[in-house]
Amino acid sequence: MKTITYSPLRTSVIFGLMCAIGFIPVNTVLGSMFSYPLPFRFTIWLCLCFYSLLLVKWADKKTGSLFFPLMLLFICIYMVPTGPLYLVLTLAVLSWIRSGLCFTGPLLKTIPAELVICFGSGFLAQSFSPNTSIKWAGVIWLFFLCQSVYFVFFGKEFDLKNNVKASSDTFEHARKQAEKMLISL
């Protein structure tokens, strides 16, 4: 039986494309039920929920750990007065989930990484001044393209299956794997 391997980089890009394609119909359907900005905010929240599920799966963490940050952001859908503030809060929750819950590391390393990658991609997305659903769909895909950069720079530090910090020495890592195999015999 062939084992299917998942690449967080590739999956993030494909997921971003799926969110971009799904943004227009979901936003349109919700727009027929609710007034602006609720459909837009709820659609963005849904994208974050599904992406968070992917992150939790890759990090082999419990899904329940997502409840508090996502519920907090859901409440913000109704409470936050401006769209840009809601988007900044969404970026903060994404950073919290990714670097605080899923792929934890030293704060002096994760905070600058999240500031550059998450808020940098958010700033880049906003620089296109999206004001229609089609533009927002393109910006969402661009955002996830930028988010996939996280796994280019930091994905190698974590064994995504076992959530164990990978050894910086590949020979040491191979030796530990060989020891595990010998012990299991």
* pLDDT over threshold 90, residue 1: no
Answer with the residue of higher pLDDT: 48 or 166. Answer: 48
Cis omega (within 30 of 0) on the bond before 37?
A: yes
Tens digit of pLDDT for each residue in 150-165? 888 776 555 444 444 4
Q: Does some domain include residue 3?
A: no
Task: Give the pLDDT confidence of 44-89 residue by residue, as tens digits.
Answer: 999 999 999 998 988 888 889 899 999 999 999 999 888 889 999 9
- Residue 5, sorted as left (phi over 0), alpha (psi -120 to 50) or beta, turns out to be beta
In which domain, by residue range, is 70 found?
A: 8-184
State the total domains in the chain.
1
The gap from C-alpha 82 to its chain's centroid, in whole angstroms, comes to 23
Residue 73: per-residue pLDDT = 93
What are the backbone dihedrals phi and psi of residue 64, each rounded to the nearest 5 degrees, phi first?
-60, -20
The pTM assigned to this predicted structure is 0.77
User: Cα 27 vs. chain centroid, distance in angstroms?
Assistant: 20
Specify if 98 maps to a domain: yes
pLDDT mean over 157-185: 61
In a domain, 138, yes or no: yes
The whole-angstrom separation of Cα 159 and Cα 21 is 31
> Hey, how many other C-beta atoms are within 10 angstroms of the C-beta on 79?
9
- 2 in a structural domain: no
pLDDT at residue 111, as a whole number: 84
Report DSSP state, residue 168: S
Query: Would you say residue 6 has pLDDT above 90?
Result: no
Asked whether residue 1 is domain-assigned, the answer is no
Within a domain: residue 122? yes
Q: Calculate ∠ Cα 141-143-149, nearest 5°.
A: 110
